[in-house]
A and B are shown apart, each in its own frame.
Chain A
Amino acid sequence: MTTGTPPTALGAHWADLVAVALLGTDRRDPPDPVVGPLTEVALEHPPVDAAGSLIQQVATLTVLRRAATRPTPPPPLLAPPADDPRPWCPPAAADLLRRVLADWPVLEAEWLHLAVQAGWRLSPDLVPILLARHRARPETRPVVDHLAGPVGAWLADLVPGLAASPRRTSPADTGVVLPAELAAVVDADAATVVAVVADGLRRQRYTSPSRAVLVHLVARVRPSELDGIRLRCEHLDPQMTGIGLAYHLADLAATRLAIHTVLLAASAPEHRPSIPESS
């Protein structure tokens, strides 16, 4: 820490005390308390020996220093990154992404793409998280960089652990292939989708270990059907086999719907997206 100001009498005395504290009063005597309020304190409470004098002076000066701490001379400010006209994504969108990363990572890619579509940039709390997460994922890093904007590269220069790594360390995502009966209903309405899912659950065709296909189905259905799917799943027979998984899918549908609502409904002013009905 640079100070740039000449040492004061008290400052020099403090340094002497610290030096004696390091060596020990058995080896070196502390300086006499001849500076400022130290004299007063020593007169009122004469220390019995060298150790007593040292600790008394240290205590007194510490109280003074803590009460009278001043800032150090300001260093040069950082050169700012290039301007980015895009607004930060809404706080609710950031909350949703955090929930996605924790509970429903299958929705991350969609969140990112919708954010790009709607013209948002990452709010500051998301920038470090996503840059770190996508350090070694060359397929997805470009989207994250785009969403972070100039702040991303600027930040990666200043703080370790955020720059893109040349080597891939996590396996590339292989797309999950939907079985025929599910692939057939990807573009269907909510009633049809849930009918097929419920039928499969009852027949125990889909159980917890094979839930990935159901998750990916809900992640790919038409956004307009999400609320219907959620509702129908929540109203399935509670005694049904696999009902727990169905409720799980309802939560997924609700989360995905919220992402669409929050990211697109209140989109950035300059961007009025025209969302294609289906991919």
Chain B
Amino acid sequence: MVPWSVEQVLAVAPARTGAARPLAVPALWDLTGADGRSVWGRFRGGSGEPYQVLVDHAPGEGHHDIGTRCTCPSRVSPCKHAIALLVLWANGQVALADRPPAVQTWLHQRDAQSAARSSRADSTRRTPVAPAEIPIGHDPGAAGPALREPRSLGSDTRVERVTLGLRELERWIDDRVRVGLGDPSIARYATWDELATRLVDAQAGGMANRVRRLAGQVGARPGWHEHVIAELGVLHLLARAGQRLRHLDDPWADGVAAAIGFTVKQADVLAGVPETGVWVVMGRSDIVEDRIVVRRLWLRDARPEPSGTTQGWAVLLSFAAYGQSLDDSLAVGQSVHADLHRYPGTVALRALLGRRHDATSTSESGQGEHVAHVVDPVALASPSVAAALESAGRMLAVEPWLERVPITFTASPTTDDGTWVLADHTGAVPLADPSAGGTTELATLVAASAGAPVTVTGEWTALGLAVLTVHLGDRTLDIGPRGGFR
């Protein structure tokens, strides 16, 4: 058996070379082995659980290409761990060994799937891969590794379905642009509903939700068409990127895949390396989306100068259907010393809380969950309105499809030509339209300020700032939307 050269390995997925190289260090691996068909090993990168990596490097007839499997949360195959293992192997740093039973089982499964595929292919005509899918410069006839199959994106079928759905979305956007947003067709419910249904069928649920939300913006306010065309631009971007997932680097592919609707298992996220620290609950919003209440809890790293694209921010999502209650275990203003596990992506805001490290405490009166502040939220505020928008801009520059970006800053509520804004000497930002019955929240914000600057946390959206919290010296006012089944 002749192992591949390192150059051949790196040609498998050139986009992941940079990420894989630093991991191709024997000290980070154990329980490695290789034989005539496969390479296997365990990657120990940090304090989290190790990732199990398997590679089928000589699949033989019936398979399109090599197969890989890794327990890391990344959705794209081959992931950087698989490439790194192959590099080790190509460098002669993986010893010949007896194939473990788990690897054997996996190979059997792959062969069985491949046999099933070829018998299906004989009976049904498969959709040929469009030329746009093949990377520029690649000759399909050349020997060596061909197009990757995204492993953890699910089966062939799912990826195909999503791709077809995204192509339809592209065509639909094209139609809207030709005909114009002033055309009556855009105000018809069926125009949007059929597209959203089609996207759900194509298993692109994230896109379907965006389409439905955007449909609600048609005619919602003067100047709606400017907002709608901009959002169609973002949908176009996601549709194009979603059709090119295989050619994107891991974190980009993960971020786009999440926006489209590919899910990552909670267990996989919790198995990853956490960020341990003190997290302050800065804001909460409850929004009804398609008959489910989505609660967002925005957490902020208590350290004053955190780095990275998320700038110390994270969001916990929880859901409740009609009749269920939401998880109230964390109150705005509370802080927790805990492990935070982020879902993969370029702006990895979505996260899960893992192990807690502090003892819970109750207030003296024993009422409620008023755990004392460890951190003053004002210390976490951006120094100005302009700085806050800039920090939001940094996240949007990386993932422009983010619909809500968290910011904390100090400013005074005031009015500008009838619109409420928050302003300081660097400028003003508009408040988003209040949700139904939301004028109480606005009134609370204005009453709390009495014209003077206050520290607020809010979600920056394309339609303005949704204020979630007013951080006062001796108390925290939670004024986030309470959309729910009341």
Partner-B contacts on A (CB < 8 A): 1-2, 17-18, 21-27, 51-52, 54-56, 58-63, 65-81, 88, 91-92, 95, 123-125, 127-129, 132, 151, 154-155, 158-162
Contact = CB atoms under 8 A, between A and B. Distances in A.
B177 A25 contact: yes
In the A-B complex, the 4 residue pairs with the smallest Cβ-Cβ separation, listed nearest first, are: A71-B427, A24-B180, A80-B451, A128-B443
B296 interface: no
Interface in B170-227: 173-174, 177-183, 225-226
B443 A77 contact: no
6 contacts: A21-B177, A51-B174, A55-B177, A74-B427, A78-B451, A151-B450
Contact of B236 (A21, A59, A158, A159): A59
B432 interface: no
B451 A79 contact: yes
B373 to A, nearest CB: 12
Interface residues of B, number: 65
Given A1-B416, A95-B367, A18 B225 contact: yes
Contact of B477 (A24, A125, A151): A125
Given A55-B233, A129-B440, A66 B396 contact: yes
B450 A80 contact: yes
Given A62-B230, A92-B365, A70 B386 contact: yes
Nearest to B464: A1
Given A75-B428, A128-B444, A159-B439, 17 more contacts: A17-B229, A22-B182, A25-B177, A55-B233, A58-B232, A62-B233, A62-B234, A70-B427, A71-B386, A71-B389, A71-B429, A77-B412, A78-B451, A124-B477, A127-B443, A159-B443, A162-B443
Contacts of A2: 416-417
Contacts of A160: 439
A16 to B, nearest CB: 12
Contacts of A17: 229
A21 B181 contact: yes
Given A51-B177, A62-B234, A129-B440, A155 B397 contact: no
B444 A125 contact: yes
B475 interface: yes
A26 B183 CA distance: 12
B308 interface: no
Contact of A74 (B225, B389, B428, B477): B428
Contacts of A132: 440
Interface stretch (B23-31, B284-292, B418-426): B418-426
B474 interface: yes
Contact of A128 (B368, B394, B416, B447): B447
Contacts of B237: 59, 63
A160 B434 CA distance: 13
B423 A75 contact: yes
A78 B443 contact: no
Contacts of A62: 230, 233-234, 400
A127 B447 contact: yes
Contact of B452 (A22, A56, A80, A128): A80
A75 B226 CA distance: 24
Contacts of A55: 173-174, 177, 232-233, 236
A65 B445 CA distance: 28
B466 to A, nearest CB: 15
B41 to A, nearest CB: 39
Nearest to A162: B443
A264 B450 CA distance: 26
A54 B237 CA distance: 13
Contacts of B416: 1-2, 72, 75
Contacts of A80: 450-452
B272 interface: no
A233 to B, nearest CB: 20
Contacts of B365: 92
A73 B423 CA distance: 9
Contact of B428 (A25, A73, A154, A162): A73
Nearest to B423: A74
Contacts of B396: 63, 66-67, 69
B414 A67 contact: no
Contact of A24 (B177, B233, B400, B474): B177
A67 B425 CA distance: 21
Contacts of A18: 225-226, 229
A162 to B, nearest CB: 7
Contacts of B421: 72, 75
A133 to B, nearest CB: 11
Contacts of B178: 24-26, 51
Contact of B180 (A1, A27, A77): A27
A49 to B, nearest CB: 9
Interface string B364-395: 01011010000000000000011001001110
Contacts of B414: 75-78
B415 A78 contact: yes
A1 B221 CA distance: 14
B462 interface: yes
A127 B450 CA distance: 12
Contacts of B417: 1-2, 75
A21 B229 contact: yes
Contacts of B419: 1
B180 A91 contact: no
Residue in A68, A71, A160 whose Cβ sees the most chain B Cβ within 10 Å: A71
Given A80-B452, A91-B474, A66 B233 contact: no
A154 B236 contact: no
Interface string B228-258: 0110111011000000000000000000000
Nearest to A160: B439
Contacts of B229: 17-18, 21-22, 58
